């Protein structure tokens, strides 16, 4: 049975899929089906969104008859491919950064208009480790930073022991696993370390792992990091919490307590954060507050965005992008991601704002 997606995303769904698809300008981003009424959308980027995208695509395709392709190439490549016109939409674990010309490039790609940027996926980033017999550990941001920068090299280091009284820590060497690709997860992880570690992490937030740190192994994508940690006793890495499986996870120090990577705690931290200044009204970029001390918050999180244009040259493309993104940010779509990927649904205020912005998508 087809799911009632059109009802769930009624703000934007007025599918005119009977239109013939033409290939001109920014409209060269969709393909007509054999009968001329189905659209194929190509998108990609964030690997953290992978499970959620699988759920969203399956439900949307079942209802609409359209096809959505989503390539898990990492947030940086996703933004690049959107800006080049290879993707009709992108998923990114960090917002477009104009310091690197990304926002300007996206505006140029969208025929001079500000691109749409709405949060679609909120999830804690887990610090995951492989130590047989140990399922959880407590760590401050400073301890985590000193592990990943190579200052702490064995699991029985006194800094780890001090936060884990009664845990029998082995003398095993620590094997650091990090992302090798340009990654929004890395950007959020290093932002947390830079802001919260009291100077233990010297490098400002970046989607690319610091070149001067040679103590770890870089692997591609969320699956690469989790696979590397899983295969290596004594390893530690970072990834979307939904992907860690049976690995041990770190509870991070927040104020005077330690908080596990739980979706509700990440959502609470996001709600306490502020918008990026100077962004247009179709851009919901959020600066996450990493130094929260409120119990029940988890400030090591990623807010993963969907990026699109306000207008597309081709009407069928515009309708399909609008209807797909409308489903993703709808209450039904957000719950589908929560069920499949363990993410935190957008709170009602953010969800309604995102839906209103997506509703602006139209043909030129």
Q: How far apart are CA 169 and CA 159, in angstroms?
A: 12
How far are the Cα atoms of 30, 132, 208 from residue 212, in angstroms, in the given order? 42, 31, 11
Is 8's pLDDT higher than 50? Answer: no
What whole-number percentage of the chain has pLDDT above 70? 90
Which positions ≥6 away from 156 have C-beta within 8 Å?
169, 170, 171
Taking the alpha carbons of 274, 278, 280, 285 in that order, is the dihedral positive or negative? negative
Strand-strand pairing, 286-287 and 274-275? antiparallel
Band (pLDDT 50/70/90 cuts) for residue 18 is: very low
Q: Say which residues have a Cβ less than 8 Å from residue 53's Cβ, sequence separation at least 6.
A: 70, 91
pLDDT at 361 over 90: yes
Q: What is the arithmetic mean of pLDDT over 87-98?
A: 93
183 labeled part of a ligand binding site: yes
Q: pLDDT, tens digit, for every residue of 172-228?
A: 999 999 999 999 899 999 999 999 999 999 999 989 999 999 999 999 999 999 999
Question: Does residue 231 have a pLDDT over 90?
Answer: yes
| SS3 call for 355 | helix
Rama region for 67: left / alpha / beta (φ>0; ψ in -120 to 50; rest): beta
- pLDDT (mean) for 254-278: 94
Whether the CB-CB separation of 130 and 247 falls below 8 Å is answered with yes
pLDDT tens digits along 22-60: 333 333 444 433 435 799 999 999 998 999 999 999 999
Nearest to 169 by CA among 194, 196, 148, 147: 147
Q: Worst-scoring range by mean pLDDT, 3-7, 99-103, 267-271?
A: 3-7
**What would be the CATH architecture of the domain defined by 5-124+274-287+302-363?**
3-Layer(aba) Sandwich (3.40)
Q: What is the spatial distance between Cα 187 and Cα 78, in angstroms, rounded to a whole number? A: 14
**DSSP state letter for 360:** T
Q: Check residue 344 and report its DSSP letter.
A: B
Q: In what helix (H) or strand (E) does residue 220 lie, and over which residues does it extend? A: none
Give me the pLDDT at residue 193, please: 98
Where exactly are the structural domains of the chain? 5-124+274-287+302-363, 125-267
Q: What is the mean pLDDT of residues 226-232?
A: 98
Q: Where are the beta strands (DSSP E) in 130-234?
A: 136-139, 175-179, 216-219
Selection from 226, 136, 142 nearest residue 177 by Cα? 226
Tokens 């049975």, residue located: 1
pLDDT of residue 36: 53
Report, as an integer, the average pLDDT of 260-279: 93
**Residue-level pLDDT at 97:** 87
Q: Do domains 5-124+274-287+302-363 and 125-267 have the same CATH topology?
A: yes
The answer to whether residue 308 scores a pLDDT higher than 60 is yes
75 is in an annotated binding site: yes
Q: What is the pLDDT of residue 37?
A: 76
- pLDDT for 348 equals 87
pLDDT for residue 98: 81
pLDDT in tens, 111-170: 999 999 999 999 999 999 999 999 999 999 999 999 999 999 999 999 999 999 999 999
pTM, rounded to two decimals: 0.80
* Domain at 125-267: CATH architecture: 3-Layer(aba) Sandwich (3.40)
């Amino acid at each position: 049975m087809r799911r009632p997606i059109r009802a769930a995303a009624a703000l934007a769904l007025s599918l005119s899929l009977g239109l013939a698809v033409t290939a001109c300008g920014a409209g060269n981003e969709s393909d007509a089906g054999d009968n001329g009424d189905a659209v194929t959308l190509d998108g990609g980027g964030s690997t953290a969104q992978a499970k959620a995208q699988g759920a969203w695509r399956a439900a949307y395709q079942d209802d609409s008859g359209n096809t959505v392709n989503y390539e898990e190439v990492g947030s940086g490549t996703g933004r690049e491919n959107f800006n080049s016109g290879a993707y009709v939409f992108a998923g990114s674990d960090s917002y477009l950064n104009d310091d690197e010309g990304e926002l300007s490039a996206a505006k140029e790609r969208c025929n001079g208009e500000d691109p749409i940027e709405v949060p679609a996926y909120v999830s804690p980033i887990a610090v995951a480790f492989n130590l047989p017999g140990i399922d959880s550990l407590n760590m401050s941001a400073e301890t985590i930073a000193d592990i990943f920068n190579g200052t702490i090299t064995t699991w029985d280091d006194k800094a780890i022991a001090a936060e884990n009284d009664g845990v029998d820590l082995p003398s095993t060497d620590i094997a650091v696993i990090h992302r090798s690709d340009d990654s929004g997860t890395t950007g959020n992880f290093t932002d947390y370390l830079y802001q919260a570690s009291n100077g233990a992490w010297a490098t400002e937030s970046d989607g690319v792992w610091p070149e001067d740190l040679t103590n770890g192994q870089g692997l591609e994508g969320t699956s690469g990091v989790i696979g590397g940690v899983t295969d290596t006793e004594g390893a530690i890495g970072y990834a979307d919490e939904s992907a860690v499986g049976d690995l041990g996870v770190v509870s991070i120090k927040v104020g005077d307590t330690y908080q596990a990577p739980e979706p509700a705690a990440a959502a609470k931290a996001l709600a306490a954060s502020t918008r990026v200044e100077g962004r247009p009204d179709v851009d919901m970029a959020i600066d996450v507050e990493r130094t929260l001390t409120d119990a029940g918050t988890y400030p090591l999180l990623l807010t993963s965005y969907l990026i699109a244009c306000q207008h597309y040259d081709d009407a069928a493309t515009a309708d399909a992008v609008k209807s797909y993104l409308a489903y993703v940010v709808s209450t039904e779509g957000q719950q589908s991601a929560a069920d499949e990927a363990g993410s935190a649904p957008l709170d009602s205020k953010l969800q309604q704002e995102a839906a209103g912005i997506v509703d602006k998508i139209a043909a030129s």
